[in-house]
Structure 1
């Protein structure tokens, strides 16, 4: 059962300020809610931009639109405003360019760029722009989403291949959360964002196709829908994804897992999500294990500790657990 909790949304619109103050206000707001940066606009009317920001567990979401402008995170700003994050930016409108680490990327609507905020960068938009941005903690990203440090900015092209499928799923995930902040399942949002980013990074390394991405998304959707069923197995998941088990295992090799391992990981992640919900205290740990598809409590306890580095009881007793109603 999902845990729904209202998420606070912070907003700024530069129209509320005189043209001469807009850049200063925009930079101050971003330093507080996103990242320290310097902004330039060459429009006669100055910067006309809006931004909405929302925290979802460890992640921070931003919905940004405005006229043509350029932002810089200079080496000096990196030192003055340190930020241990990896940003994921989906360009929804406007051509754009992104420079970091001797790489200059040209972006079109539908493209996504992943970059580390610990390194200076330049991000420019040539026309009226709109983007979704997800701020992920660097330790979270490098632990759960990527096996290696980013060598520089990563562009996930949205016009074809797996990028078209994954970027569209990312757009829907962030857009739905920003549109309905009063009912966001924060643990679920983080789980799905991590899953998409992991698939993007694996696909980038493997030269993934749209068909591969579609099969993997279908497999994950089937697993999530049927986690409570102890009888679900790898053959069933492959059939739901429209491929043979051998082929689905081959598709997952880029992520370093098999279908059976994927099922187990998602059962363990769902169990962790439920254990972190204070509203689910009425369920014993054995009942949560059963709800997540584990027929053996001993097997659940052993694999849970291996995956999360703590016992189910220790996770349930952690401070700061969500107390939202379900």
Structure 2
């Protein structure tokens, strides 16, 4: 089975309750006014193993109790990642407040209570408990709070959001394979190992670093610490990722600054600026060092690269 679904509730809350329970498991729903028209939306794709769902709707609370689990066991875990608004999860002795900077991994077959405000927009990854247990003894002892503002958590949030956005372009094998790799990261984050990622995912981290450096190459303060602080990684990990790619933070920054300088030297819009001024605008503090690096990189002097 592999399907895409888009449910828009424009009737009473009952239709929403049934659809939500079909996806997440039987539970009890509560709202301020159960007779009011409901305008929630659920959009999801699912295979036999995985499901990713995006949800929005008015303020409500729901509880999955022992009686619901007995009659409708799911054998699943759910990663909830808010994109906007706030939500609250209570499971066991844990009480978690969720915002767009935080995610929660919960066992669907343990009693819990979930509530959210009317501004909540969230995306969820629903996975088999067995696959979680195969990866991590720690992850199955949730709930787990995962930081989503940087590092590994940020990568997880980006991946689950992208999988939802690209759902119509993904075949079932591609969808399942991507969810499997995503679950590897989720379990790693649940174990608290948020400072690194598996080698297979370093390409995504490297791409993020390169995009950031290209966008900020002109800034004098750009260095490995600035990159790490903004992207949520440690400076050491940024160095490791770039080293594996055959470069260093310093070399990457210099290369991007030289690329920017060559583009400006060849642009008529910068024709009124001196070479020294262009070098400074690209983050170079020394004209002579810039000229030497430029010639080593491109085999010509800055003057030879100037717009005629």
**What TM-score, normalized to structure 1?**
0.57
Q: CA deviation at 1:80?
A: 1.9
**Superposed counterparts of 1:37-186, under 5 Å:** 37-42=27-32, 45=36, 47-143=38-134, 145-148=135-138, 150-177=140-167, 180=168, 183-186=169-172
Cα distance in 2 for residues equivalent to 1:157 and 1:206? 10
SS in structure 2 at match of 1:62: strand
- Contact conserved, 2:44 with 2:164, CA < 8 A, in 1? no
Cα distance in 1 for residues equivalent to 2:44 and 2:204? 29
- Contact conserved, 2:27 with 2:65, CA < 8 A, in 1? yes
C-alpha deviations, 1:74-93, integer Å up to 9, x for none? 12211121111111221111
- Contact conserved, 1:218 with 1:240, CA < 8 A, in 2? no
SS in structure 2 at match of 1:86: strand
Q: CA deviation at 1:117?
A: 0.9
Cα distance in 1 for residues equivalent to 2:193 and 2:240? 24
**Unaligned stretches of 5+ residues in structure 1:** 1-5, 223-237, 246-326
Q: CA deviation at 1:219?
A: 4.4
How many residue pairs get matched?
213
- Contact conserved, 2:139 with 2:187, CA < 8 A, in 1? no
C-alpha deviations, 1:121-167, integer Å up to 9, x for none? 11111232111122212112322x43445222112111233212222
SS in structure 2 at match of 1:24: helix
Cα distance in 1 for residues equivalent to 2:243 and 2:144? 29
Cα distance in 1 for residues equivalent to 2:86 and 2:25? 22
- Please say which of residues 38-47 and 159-168 is displaced more in the overlay: 38-47
Counterpart selection for 2:15 from 22, 25, 31: 25
Cα distance in 2 for residues equivalent to 1:219 and 1:110? 23
Pair 1:12 & 2:41 matched = no
- Please say which of residues 188-197 and 62-71 is displaced more in the overlay: 188-197
C-alpha deviations, 1:190-248, integer Å up to 9, x for none? 22222222223223424423xx34976224899xxxxxxxxxxxxxxx99941359xxx
**2:173 aligned partner:** 187
- Please say which of residues 40-49 and 154-163 is displaced more in the overlay: 40-49
149 and 169 in structure 1: CA distance in 2 versus 1, 3 angstrom threshold: closer
**1:243 aligned partner:** 243
Larger Rg: 2
221 and 58 in structure 1: CA distance in 2 versus 1, 3 angstrom threshold: farther
**Unaligned stretches of 5+ residues in structure 2:** 207-237, 246-308
Higher RCO, 1 vs 2 (CA within 8 Å, ≥6 residues apart): 1
- Contact conserved, 2:133 with 2:139, CA < 8 A, in 1? yes
Cα distance in 2 for residues equivalent to 1:175 and 1:148? 30
Q: CA deviation at 1:36?
A: 1.0
Cα distance in 2 for residues equivalent to 1:214 and 1:118? 29
SS in structure 2 at match of 1:87: strand
Q: CA deviation at 1:24?
A: 2.3
Cα distance in 1 for residues equivalent to 2:65 and 2:175? 31
Cα distance in 2 for residues equivalent to 1:12 and 1:220? 32
